[in-house]
Amino acid sequence: MIPATSAAELRAAARRGEWRVTTAGHCPAYQQANVVILPKESAAEFAAFCTRNPTPCPIIEIMPPGDPEPVRSAPGADIRTDLSGYRIYRAGELVEQRGDIRDLWRNDLVTFLLGCSFTFEHALIDAGVSVRNVECGTSVPMYVSSLTCLPAGRFHGPTVVSMRPIPEAQIQLVRELSAHYPHAHGAPIHVGDPYEIGIADLARPDYGEPVQIHPGEVPVFWACGVTSQAVAVKARVELMMTHEPGQMFLTDLPRQGNTRT
């Protein structure tokens, strides 16, 4: 693993093909982002979906058609090269995984950067809360819940949630800390019994890797940015490109603030 202290350094390592692991636990000073790239044809509808479901899909920046530079959140970066891995979907099917998307770029592609819970994990760790997926270096477990999103045109579906086991005594602290990060999903949307939100088996996540729940710990669930990818897959959009799960885009935005202007 390459030590990377700034977001720009991590992006440069990804561009050189030298960063191949999860970004969870790295670059604690900066906001991390989910990436969804769609043709302009479906972009207004997808933007509407995100604004109607701001807890799973908090918008950090939308880039105009054909523009690969996130001028607000990472000036000088290039969204076609600065992720460590990309997934390519055509008509809802995953067709390819690759290290850059320069040759797939088009003038009508609109990039969405959406907040990620990795941003607030650092605040939990700073406050003495251990975050199992960071300890284990694994991708956080994610589940399709029974909580329904507000629809927008062809985009509709359930909320995907991420789960972290938290000792009962720290739950109030964790609620309060994460509530300060509305641009990164904010407070948990469910605490406790997974059945209540339609999750049958915590050992079998729909995305990411399972983690152990120790005695005295309670599963805590946050809305997850993968929600946006799941609805776009379901809508069978002609082309969608995303980050490789767990390998997020590192912005230059400070962890706690959503505004710069």
Q: Given the rule CB under 8 A, which residues bind its own copies?
A: 40, 43-45, 47-56, 59-65, 67, 71-72, 110, 149-153, 159, 182, 186, 189, 223, 258-259, 261
Helix (H, G, I), strand (E, B) or coil at 241: strand
Nearest distance in Å: CB 81, its own copies: 20
Question: Which amino acid, 205?
Answer: P
Shortest approach of its own copies to residue 173 CB, angstroms? Answer: 21
How far is residue 203's CA from residue 10's CA, in Å, rounded to a whole number? 31
DSSP assignment letter at 166: E
CA 44/CA 152 separation, integer angstroms: 10
Q: Is 152 within 8 Å of 45 (Cβ atoms)? A: yes
- CA torsion 213→217→222→224, rounded to 10°? -10
Q: How far is the CB of 166 from its own copies (least distance, A)?
A: 22
The Cα–Cα gap between 213 and 166 comes to 8
Find the shortest distance in angstroms from Cβ 57 to its own copies.
9
Output 54 or 167, the one with its CB closest to its own copies: 54
